[in-house]
Amino acid sequence: MVDTSVRPPTAPPSGGGTPAVRKPRRRWVLWLVLGLLAALIAASATGGILVANYQPFHAGFKQYGPPKGVEATALQIDWLDAPPNAWTYRIPSYNGLTFTYRFSIWNHGPVPITITRFGISKSEQAGGGLTNVPVAVYPDVYTDPSVGGSWEPVRPLTLQPRQMPVWRCA
């Protein structure tokens, strides 16, 4: 003889008696979010690199001849984003030679830039040979001397967009 135990019937699961079906996961949402996050990181990194490497200064278009009283050989250059009329002068040096020269730079950027220091002070320049000391600045070459433009002592200077000063060095 077999003893069996009989359980009383149980109630069906709530929800109408049909088994619960799990909805499929939406993986495309996850991929979309990850793709947008990657694009945002790439755009931020590219923007940061462009901002960090932005160079608003360009060689100015105001050009000067070689210093007076010095025999110089003119060499045309076409590098470092120099304007097409840029010339470099090779000057033979000797002990005690002194001369002045001028050059211009141009703020090609869209915002003002303040130059707080220009060049290296004479005491910081190495050796007893050639020294380069800025002595004067003409803040805006587009200002005619007859209406107030003039050479000024070297000082901190704010360049407005599209402003081109000239420095005189000795």
94-123, pLDDT tens digit by residue? 777 777 777 788 888 888 888 888 777 777
Q: Give residue 151's Cα distance to chain centre.
A: 29
The stretches of 2-155 forming alpha helices (DSSP H) are 27-52
pLDDT band at 19 (very low <50, low <70, confident <90, very high): low
CB atoms within 10 A of CB 115: 17
CB contact at 8 A, 137 and 166: yes
Q: What pTM did the predictor assign? A: 0.54
